[in-house]
Amino acid sequence: MTLLKMKFNQQRRVRLAQGLWLMSWMAVMCGAFVFCLGVYLKIELLRRAEVMDNAEIHVVPNILIMVGLASIGTNWVATRVCQDSLDATRFPRWKVLLLPWFAVAALLCCLLVAVVVLSYALQGRLEESLKEGLRNGIRFYKDTDVPGRCFQKETIDRLQMDFRCCGNNNFKDWFEVQWVSNRYLDFTSQEVKDRIRSNVDRRYLLDGVPFSCCNPSSPRPCLRYHLTDNHAHFNYDYQGEELNLHPRGCRKALVDYYMGLLNSTGPGVLSVILIQMSVFLSLRYLQTAVEGALDLENPEDESEGYILEKGVKETFEDVKLQILGLLKFGQVDPTEEAPVDEDAEKAASPSPDS
Amino acid sequence: MPFLTVKFNLQNRVKLAQGLWMLYWLSVIVGIAIFSLGLFFKIELRKRSEIMDNSESHLVPNLLILVGALACGINAFGGKTCHDSLDPLKFAKLKPLLRPYMLLCCGFNALLLLLVLLCFIMQFSVYLTLAEGLKNAIRFYKDTDTPGRCFMKRTLDMTQIEFRCCGNNNFRDWFEVQWISNRYLDMSNELVKDRVLSNVEGKYLMDSVPFSCCNPGSPRPCIQHHLTNNTAHYDYDHRIEQLNIWSRGCRGAVFSYYSSIMNSIGALLIVTIVLESADVAGLKYLSTSLETMADPENPECESEGWLLEKGMKETFADMITKLKTLGRANQVEEGADAPEATS
């Protein structure tokens, strides 16, 4: 009982080959699109790699890049098969290649589905990675003279200005960290000495933030020192002052940005999956129709195209037997002969009853 | 004596037609590129029109958009002509259109040349508009409560951050202007009263700059206030401190950005002029080689193609006489009859 069979005459076969050729080239473009998408995501993640603690999220663009390249190659092979399909002399050489082709195409579709699932599943890990990375960035902000960390200040400043954010959760993260290097502190000053003695770790903590936290949209020139002291500035209320600094934290800003990127690529990847599946099915129809036509006496006659020669269950059983046969190939000979003897015995034993 | 004649057989004609077809479609793509560049330039000017007093001239981008669209149309028609030229029936229909079309192409080339000149000359206008606009922007920085100017602060801050610049010529432009609104000044404070009384116009001037002048690459947290006072900050000398705030002025920075856009557009236009000239020359060769076929029924015959029917001097003299007759067309009939009688 063949699965989803259709009749194809010569004209329909030709049309199927032509349509499939066009669709395969479209699938090549889609493969290139997936590749470019992967490269773009990778570049965006690498740009902010300094504030990420681990690189687990990179698995998404890596898979996209690999799948894009493989898809370009696979669909190009499909175009060649289509071109040769109507020529009886050139088609047979593709016969051997078609089963691996179907396996690779199915694998690519599965990988693309996995990418969509991963991009949602890895959100938590991304957030953790950003939390740790930003925490370190803020701690090492002042170390502009330590090799390996001297650009941390510039990175964090640019990040806060580009993403309009301040601190990890909010601007108060800057109050808990010494972000002014000791090189620029006058240790003879009473104020500095008081602040250092005010905490156990002897850090110079102040209720101020770096300039990159300033919000350009605020109507008032930026106030960034003595933020908790209402009397330090004219007409200033610490609790009510909203717009002078960036309101949101950098972790949330970055997570939103990356999730937005991944979500917007979702529909694109899903349509690529659809196109790949249609190429898969159409190529199967073309293969079976052309092979059927070649077997006929008159190749121009009608032939049948189908997805599976037998039903789903029977094909499954066939495949299982084939795999088991391959596995048993490595075992000792007597075991191979035994089932044959058993069958002969079984054939012999019921005969007295019947 | 025809100018620059070339002999053509059938194969050469076909190759010329095919090559010319591809050249025309390349010109269409270049036309699309000019159109998009014009659009991009217009958008960039609009984005920053606030720091140019909203008085910048949009002549160049508007002309570019027009020229790009025209180029696409003209070259598409040229491509179609090449495609049809080897079919005698279609070519016969197109023949009367070819002469006006080639004149149109020459006129288009002249327009392109004018546009190239404009691209280089209008840079002066952009520079002057920027200088004036930035001066006003710095003056109106504090007016965040005045309708029509409330976004000046944000625009100027974003410009200084994006272009990594401070002030008009340099950061001292901020010292001459009151950039903190009176709403945030405590007028009962002695310090404020001293500063306001220290100048004729009663402005609150200080040696400070806004936060957007800060350079993130500085190893030291940004010093915005009391910039000229060495004792106000630990280990600070304002004469040798380089990295604290941006040292470039915004006029130079924004102008160099626009200048590079206009220069690249000018270069692309020069390439377009060369392409268009090649197109017209090729079309002239193709049309003359098809017209001078000795035996129109036999496509395999040889023919000649040329650029000008007579030599350069004679064609020039002809053009001048034609212009003169055009001028005399409005005169009395006797004058008009005389040239007709002589020719």
Which of A179, A184, A190, A226 to mutate against chain B (most B CBs within 10 Å)? A184
| B78: pLDDT strictly greater than 80 | yes
Q: Which among B159, B210, B161, B213 has a CA at the least distance from the CA of B48?
A: B159
Q: Which range scores top for mean pLDDT: A126-135, B90-99, B321-330?
A: A126-135
What is the rounded end-to-end Cα distance, in angstroms, of chain A? 32
Q: Cα–Cα–Cα angle for B221, B225, B226, nearest 5°?
A: 115
Which of B138, B184, B192, B227 to mutate against chain A (most A CBs within 10 Å)? B184
**Reported ipTM:** 0.80
Half-sphere exposure for A13 (CA within 13 Å, toward CB) = 27
Condensed to tens digits (0 to 9), the pLDDT of residues B112-123 reads 999 999 999 999
Q: Strands, DSSP E only, in A86-191?
A: none
Condensed to tens digits (0 to 9), the pLDDT of residues A260-269 reads 998 888 899 9
Residue B338: predicted pLDDT:
47
**For A270-297, what is the mean pLDDT?**
89
Transcribe A225-263 into DSSP letters: SSTT-GGGSTT--TTT--SSB--S-HHHHHHHHHHHHHH
Mean pLDDT lowest among A20-29, A338-347, B100-109, B115-124: A338-347
Of B144, B145, B219, the CB nearest to A144: B219
Q: Which among B187, B186, B181 has a CA at the least distance from the CA of B149?
A: B181
Indicate the Cα dihedral angle A203, A206, A210, A211, nearest 10°. -150
Helix orientation angle between A59-85 and A250-295, rounded to the nearest 10 degrees: 20
**Cα nearest neighbour of B183 on chain A:** A235
What gap in Å lies between CA A171 and CA A217, rounded to an integer?
17
Of B150, B181, B216, the CB nearest to A157: B216
What gap in Å lies between CA A213 and CA A206, rounded to an integer?
15
What is the rounded end-to-end Cα distance, in angstroms, of chain B? 20
**For B141-167, what is the mean pLDDT?**
93
Of A158, A216, A234, the CB nearest to B212: A216
3-state secondary structure of B8: strand
What gap in Å lies between CA B185 and CA A234, rounded to an integer?
6
Between A181 and A319, the higher pLDDT residue = A181
Which residue carries 């930003």 as its tokens?
A134
The two structure tokens encoding residue A197 = 């003695």
| A334: pLDDT strictly greater than 70 | no
Instruction: Quote the percentage of chain A above a pLDDT of 90.
Output: 54
Residue B21: predicted pLDDT:
93
Q: Judge whether A82 and A20 are in contact, CB under 8 Å.
A: yes
Rounded to a whole number of angstroms, the distance from the CA of B206 to the nearest CA of chain A is 13
Residue B210 makes CB contacts below 8 A (sequence gap 6+) with A221, A222, B141, B156, B157, B160, B174, B179, B224
Condensed to tens digits (0 to 9), the pLDDT of residues B15-74 reads 888 999 999 999 999 999 999 999 999 999 999 999 999 988 999 999 999 999 999 999
* Radius of gyration, CA atoms only, chain B: 32
| A107: pLDDT strictly greater than 90 | yes
Condensed to tens digits (0 to 9), the pLDDT of residues A176-231 reads 999 999 999 999 999 999 999 988 888 999 999 999 999 999 988 999 999 888 88
Indicate the Cα dihedral angle A201, A206, A210, A211, nearest 10°. -170
Residue B270 makes CB contacts below 8 A (sequence gap 6+) with B116
Phi, psi dihedral angles at A305 (to 5 degrees): -120, 140
Residue B130: predicted pLDDT:
94
Note whether A161 contacts B185, CB cutoff 8 Å.
Answer: no
Note whether B216 contacts A186, CB cutoff 8 Å.
Answer: no
Q: Which among B121, B100, B34, B23 has a CA at the least distance from the CA of B70?
A: B34
Q: Which residues of B touch A (CB under 8 A)?
A: 144-145, 150, 153-154, 157-158, 161, 179-181, 183-186, 189, 210-212, 214, 216-217, 219-222, 224, 233-235
Q: Judge whether B180 and B203 are in contact, CB under 8 Å.
A: no
Residue A317: predicted pLDDT:
86
Is the Cα torsion angle A108, A110, A114, A115 positive or negative in sign? positive
Residue A122 DSSP one-character state: T
Note whether A153 contacts B153, CB cutoff 8 Å.
Answer: no
Rounded to a whole number of angstroms, the distance from the CA of B86 to the nearest CA of chain A is 30
Residue B101: predicted pLDDT:
92
Note whether A211 contacts B211, CB cutoff 8 Å.
Answer: yes
Q: What residues are paired with A308 via a beta bridge?
A: A3
- CB pairs below 8 Å between A and B: how many? 70
Note whether A221 contacts B234, CB cutoff 8 Å.
Answer: no
* Averaged pLDDT of chain B: 89
Mean pLDDT lowest among A63-72, A129-138, A228-237, B22-31: A228-237
Q: Which range scores top for mean pLDDT: A336-340, B238-242, B335-339?
A: B238-242
**For A134-147, what is the mean pLDDT?**
93
Q: Judge whether A182 and A202 are in contact, CB under 8 Å.
A: no
Note whether B221 contacts A212, CB cutoff 8 Å.
Answer: no
Note whether A216 contacts B181, CB cutoff 8 Å.
Answer: no
| A323: pLDDT strictly greater than 90 | no
Binned at pLDDT 50, 70 and 90, residue B137 comes out as very high
Of A184, A219, A221, the CB nearest to B179: A221
Of A150, A210, A216, the CB nearest to B221: A210
Q: What residues are paired with B214 via a beta bridge?
A: B245
* Radius of gyration, CA atoms only, chain A: 34
Instruction: Quote the percentage of chain B above a pLDDT of 90.
Output: 60
**For A330-350, what is the mean pLDDT?**
49
The two structure tokens encoding residue A28 = 């090549």
**Cα nearest neighbour of A158 on chain B:** B216
| A249: pLDDT strictly greater than 90 | yes
Note whether B184 contacts A158, CB cutoff 8 Å.
Answer: no
What gap in Å lies between CA A238 and CA A227, rounded to an integer?
6
Q: Cα–Cα–Cα angle for B264, B250, A225, nearest 5°?
A: 140
Binned at pLDDT 50, 70 and 90, residue A241 comes out as low
Note whether A180 contacts B212, CB cutoff 8 Å.
Answer: no
What gap in Å lies between CA B202 and CA B205, rounded to an integer?
9
Which residue carries 């998009």 as its tokens?
B36
Is the Cα torsion angle B332, B337, B338, B340 positive or negative in sign? positive
Between A302 and B127, the higher pLDDT residue = B127
**For B97-126, what is the mean pLDDT?**
93
